Structure formats: C-alpha cells, structure tokens
Amino acid sequence: MSTALLPPAAAEALARLESAFADRSVADVLAHEAASYVRVAPEIQKAVIRYGVCSETIARLGRMDGHDMTPAQFDALYEAQGERARMHALLANAGQLHLVEGAR
C-alpha cells in the first residue's frame, strides 16, 4: 500500500497495523470488525425470518373477507398469529426486538 499521501504519523501507524495483521490486509481487518457488529445468532436470524413470513401471512389473510375464507385459511391465520407472537417473545427476551420493529 502506498503511504505517499499520508502524513508521516499516519504512515507509521498504518505500517504498524499492517505488520500486526500480516496475514490479512488492513481492509480485511476493518471489514471483519465492521461485520462483527451486525452478526446475530442463527436462532435469532430464523426468528426474524419466521416473524416476517407470519406477518406477511397475517396481512394477506387479514385483507380477505371472513365470509370468503375457508376453514384452512382461518387456521393458517390463527397459526400465523400465534407463531408471530412466539417469535416476538423470543426476540424480546433476546433483546433483539429492534430487528422487527415496524414489521407489524
């Protein structure tokens, strides 16, 4: 990496970083650090996805006239509401409710 445009102190700091992370570039280290802040556990990812699918199901079935719904559609609506409530509780308990705020 060229340090010609950097002030001497910055060039020295960059050289120290590069030697400390010789097996990875500075860009790789910075990308890793940035990505570390957005990772969530797999069970949280699944809960967010399930919450979204349930919300879409509820919205789709909720737009239907109740007189036109089949028993299976009523069951699907009921199940989606229950599942979304369970995912909401799971996310709230994990402190990750911000991942679905506004999804309702």
**Residue of 54, 38, 52, 44 lying closest to 95 (CA atoms):** 44
Euclidean distance between CA atoms 69 and 77, whole angstroms: 10
Euclidean distance between CA atoms 52 and 83, whole angstroms: 11
- For the chain, the structural domain boundaries read 1-39, 42-99
Please tell me whether the overall predicted TM-score, pTM, comes out greater than 0.85 for this model: no
Greater model confidence, 48 or 101: 48
Q: Which residues contact 61 (CB under 8 A, 6 or more apart)?
A: 69, 73, 76, 77, 80
List, for residues 25-75, the tens digit of each pLDDT value: 667 767 766 665 667 788 999 999 999 999 999 999 999 999 999 999 999
Asked which of 18-22, 48-52, 66-70, 93-97 is least confident by mean pLDDT, the reply is 18-22
- pLDDT of the residue at 28: 72
